[in-house]
Structures are given as structure tokens and as C-alpha cells.
Structure 1
Amino acid sequence: MKNQVLIGCSSFNNRFWRGIFYPDNLSSSRWFEFYCQYFSTYEFNGSFYKFPTVRIFENWYEKTPENFIFSVKAPKEITHIKKFSDCQDRINEFYNVCKTGLKEKLGCILFQFPPSYQFSTEKLHQIISNLDLNFQNVIEFRHESWWNEEVWNAFRENNITFCSVSHPQLPSTIFKDFPLIFIRLHGKPKMFYSSYLPKELLHIKEVIQSKSAFVYFNNTASEAGILNALELKHMLE
């Protein structure tokens, strides 16, 4: 992926989108097929709640168009329960399941840590040592202590992307000097619900155009996510 901007959402099975995005008469079983007519990437979050299998990802691979790209979120077992401690085998298994099932449609692997996970140099080294650097790794932190030069320098040296977030309690910097730009828009001021204004989307467009970027709208507890995704996509066309 070189100088390509991919825009998508972090969920699709959304009743709020019926009549706004999905036609009223379209069966929900065909919603993802419809989504794929408009977007060429999807952030797969189901793997956060349940460790995936190769067969699950093979099914997703088979039902998506050529050149479709998935970003996949690592299981909370790894990031929230074990927090990268004593789980190298499980991390390797996760990488293998993603690569085997999604093949060339695998984009980024997203590791999102909880707000309770605060910065330390020891934790930083633990993260890097557990990652398979042959993958496009993206790390999303939920505690502001990770916004520091030691982290950013270490990530750059190891070809790891620091996730840019739009989140009510976190800095909204869009990071441009990592392997790629990876933005997760969670909704502000009301997380998962709030829409982004046209001027906010225009700012994102100005930053990411002519770059390699993934932009995922996670403000999907309402109709906001899909409308914002369509609007940003239109701005970039």
C-alpha cells in the first residue's frame, strides 16, 4: 500500500443505518455486501471479544471483493487481560490466524491497550519484543502518558505505527511520521455517538491526502459513523 487512503468503519451491522445507508428493503444478511460497494476496507473488531479462527477469516476473505483490505483488532485476552505478559505464543497464534485466513487482504494488526495501562520504559520494551515486525503493527493507547518522544522514537525505529485517535480524553494529534497514518475516530464529545463536522473532516483530508493512510470511523452507535465515512470519502474523490 503506497500513498493510498483507505476509509471505512469499525462495524457495519447497524440498524441505525437502515434507510440512511442501507436500503429499507435490503435484508440485513446482505448489509456487508452492500458496505463493500462503497468501501474497500473494514476494521474487524469481533476478534477483540473472541479469539478468531482461520475458518472465520477465510469466510470473510471469500465474501469480499478483490483488493479489499481488513485491519484486525487483537483479542482483549492479549491486550487487556494478559497485557502482553507471558503470552508470546498466543500473540504468534493470532498473527498466524490472521495471515492464513486473510492472506493478501490483511492490512494492519491493531493492538489497543486499556486506559489503565500507563507508560513505562519496561512496558514499551515488552510491547516491541512481543510484536512480529513483519506485520503492519498499529498500537492504540488509551492513557496520555504514552504520548511521548521515547515511545515515538522506539516505534519509528521498529517500523511500528502509533495510532492517531479522536477520543474525548486523549490528544487528537494525527501522526504522520510513522510507517503509515492510522486514525480511529471514536466520536467527540460523546464517545461512539458524536458526528464530526465538515471542517473537522476537511482537516483530516488535508493531512492524509497523498499519504498512506487508514481511517476508521468508530462513532457507530448512531448514524454518525457511516455518514462521516461517506462524507470524507467524497472529499477525497
Structure 2
Amino acid sequence: MRLAVGCAMWTHKAWQGRFLPHPLPAGERLRAYAGWCDAVEGNTTFYATPTRETVATWAAQTGPDFRFVVKFPKAVTHERRFTGVEQEVRAFLDAVEPLGPRADALWVQLPGSFGPADVPLLANFLRRLPGSFRYAVEVRHPAFFDDARATAELEDVLTRAGAEWVPFDTTAFFRSAPTSDAERDAWTKKPRVARRAVALTDRPIVRYLGRDEVARTVEGWQPWVETVVEWLREGRSPTVFVHTPDNADAPALARRFHDEVRARVPALDPLPDPAPVEPLTLF
């Protein structure tokens, strides 16, 4: 039984001098982040497949229990929709291999235009992937959340592949109008779908988007505290990623979520204490 928590990235300008020492070489930022959280989303791989050498440095900066959820390249999922992507998939799988057990899941994020009629493409793609990795799928088409038949068909495909369905919960974010530039930007970009809290595997993955105001973020995640507590009591080991539009407080919020769950499940191990960070100075 374990709960891992993390953020959408491991470095952010707003964290410098607060959560991460500053200045800090690029090759040490993940190590510092790993003192706060024990999981991270690998979003950069969506835009370009890194070299094996780069990925090996990620592994070297993290312990064996650290969890990466690494996104497939957009050429595979968005541009070619699984057609004629053998070379790109091989390059990606080879690049992330140095993560070893740290690769908690390879993440297939699909565009909002990928609907129920496209599920056979996904099923064929998942069948062809090697069993040496675990896979997780995020869909954004409303039908998967509103149409019981579409939901069941996707669940069946994922279950057959041993893959998890990753919900991106934006319901708390869209509950009221945006109040900051970051929230207004997210308002136009983030998906609006119903909250889903069904685990298909023993390691469910959740992405939660709150607000820039801490109190509203914490209020909005209370249903997830209940869900995660239930999953832990069932013997599952979930990973929860906490987002806000500006992500300025994301590492502290992720730890706070872990603390709230642990208050309900005392047997859950605490996160390690992060190393102290010296405040920024002018000179």
C-alpha cells in the first residue's frame, strides 16, 4: 500500500528559492524536486523524445521507488493516431528504458477529437506494445464520460491490455469563472469532462486541477481524498498529480494532499522531509 504524489513538472521558475535551491544546475533540479514529491508527469516527451543518456540522468537523480508517468510523443497519439508509427514508438521505448521500475506507466494521452469510433485503433496499438512496460490512457472526448456504452467499450479495451484509465479532473476548476491570467489561460485549454473515479488496475493514476487559490484547490480535492482512501484500503497504490493553473504552490499542495490522506490511513508511510532551501538574496 502506497500513495505517490507529484506535479506536472520538476522545475518551475516560481519554485526557485522556495522549493528548489537557486541557482541550481539543470542536472540537479530533478533530484531536488524528488525531495518534495515521489512522482512526476513526463510531459516533455510529448514534444520530443529524449536521448537514452538524458533519461539515464533522470534515473540517476531519483530513488528506485520514484514514479515517472511518461507521455508518448504527439506524433504517435495526435498527428498519426497510431498509424505508421513503428519507428517513433521504438525510439521512445528505447529512450525511456533506463528508467527501469521508475517508469510507473507510459502515458497515452489522446486528443478531444479521438472518440468512441477510434477505440479499435487504440486497442490495436495497445496489443502491439511490449509487456515490459505498464500503460495508462487519458481520453478527452465527452462521449467516454457521458455514454455508458462508450465507457464500457473503452474499459474493456483497457482491461484486456492491463492498462489504466487516467482521469483529468477539472470539475473544481470549472465550477466558477477564472480570476487570474493563469486561470483564464487554462479556461480555454483544459478539457471539460465529468469526474471519473473508477480504478481498472492496482495502481490508479489521477490528475487533478485546482485553482490558484489554495483554499479552493483543497476544497475541490476532498472527493479525491475519499476515493484514494478507499483505494488504499482495497490494497491499491495510487498516484495523484496536483495541478493548479500557475502551479506556483504545486509541490507543497501535493504533500498536503498526501498528509490529508495519511490522516485517514495512518498506516501509510509519510513522505520524507525535504531538504531546507536557503531564501533568495539580492547579492
CA distance in 1, matches of 2:29, 2:256: 19
Measured in 2, the distance between the counterparts of 1:178 and 1:202 equals 18
1:27 paired residue among 16, 23, 26: 23
- Aligned-residue offset at 1:113: 0.6
Give the distance between the partners of 1:214 and 1:65, measured in 2 at CA. Answer: 16
Question: In 2, distance between residues paired with 1:136 and 1:88?
Answer: 18
Could you tell me which residue of structure 1 aligns to residue 174 of structure 2?
none
Query: Partner of 2:156 in structure 1?
Result: 153
TM-score by length of 2: 0.71
Q: Which has the larger radius of gyration?
A: 2
Instruction: Name the structure 2 match of 1:195.
Output: 217
Instruction: Report the CA distance between 1:181 and its aligned residue.
Output: 0.6
Query: Within 1, Cα distance between the matches of 2:203 and 2:196?
Result: 14
Most deviating of 145-154 and 127-136:
127-136
Which residues of 2 match residues 40-119 of structure 1 at below 5 A?
40-99=38-97, 101-119=98-116
- CA–CA separation in structure 2 for the residues paired with 1:52 and 1:116: 27
- Deviations 1:7-60 (Å, cap 9, x if unpaired)? 11111222223455346xx32435433221122222221111111211110111
**Residues 155-205 of structure 1: per-residue CA shift (max 9 Å, x gap):** 1122111112213511211222334211112346x8xxx734263453344
SS of 2:63's equivalent in the other structure is: coil
Cα distance between partner residues in 2 of 1:89 and 1:222: 34
Q: Deviations over 1:81-124 (max 9, x none)?
A: 1111111332233122211x212322210010111111214334
Opposite residue 170 of structure 1, the aligned amino acid is: V
Per mean C-alpha deviation after superposition, the further-off stretch among 55-64 and 30-39 is 30-39
Question: 2:275 is matched with which residue?
Answer: none
Q: 169-178 vs 134-143, which deviates more?
A: 169-178
Aligned residue identity for 1:122: P
- How many residues are aligned here? 228
The gaps in structure 2 that reach 5 residues or longer are 146-150, 172-191, 263-269, 271-283
Query: Shift in Å at residue 71 of structure 1?
Result: 1.8
SS in 2 for 1:42: strand
Distance 1:160 1:201, change over 3 A: closer
- Distance (whole Å) between structure 2 residues aligned to residue 232 and residue 32 of structure 1: 21
Is residue 2:201 matched to residue 1:181? no
SS in 2 for 1:116: coil
Instruction: Rate the CA distance shift 1:167–1:85 in 2: closer, same or farther, 3 A.
Output: farther
Deviation at 1:75, TM superposition (A): 0.9
* Distance of aligned partners of 1:124 and 1:32 in 2 relative to their CA distance in 1, 3 Å threshold: closer
In structure 2, relative to structure 1, the CA distance for the partners of 1:92 and 1:31 (3 Å cut) is: closer
In the TM superposition, 1:122-133 aligns within 5 A as: 122-133=120-131
Residue in 1 that maps onto 2:181: none
